[in-house]
Amino acid sequence: MHKLILALFLYQFPAFSQRDLPFTKGESLEYKIHYGPIDAGKATLKVQQEEGNYWFVAEGKSIGMFNLFFKVRDYYESIIDTNCTCPIYFTRNVREGNYTKRENVFF
């Protein structure tokens, strides 16, 4: 799941003009993740516009009984310039079981 979200942030929709963007300010997506019949987690993706920039936040986390066996806490954030749809900033904070990864990228 986190590879798909990372790909979305890294390739930032560079060919679109502002009126042709595939998202809108205030858009929010919510997903429930299942492992067979077990509720395993949830993920959200939110789009906001602040100070002339688009701000994307994606979060994923494990829930319930699945959380006891494999705890997941993923956070991704990306800031995009509204004029050129160019990335300005990207951060990734991943905690999946014993694996952790933190990245901050300024463009």
The string of DSSP codes covering 65-103 is HHHHHS-EEEEEEEEEETTT--EEEEEEEEEETTEEEEE
Average pLDDT over residues 43-70: 91
Average pLDDT over residues 14-29: 69
The number of residues in the chain equals 107
Confidence of residue 8 (pLDDT cuts 50, 70, 90): low
Average pLDDT over residues 43-62: 92
Backbone angles phi, psi at 81, to 5 degrees: -70, 130
Lowest mean pLDDT among 8-12, 35-39, 61-65: 8-12
What type of residue is 39?
A: D
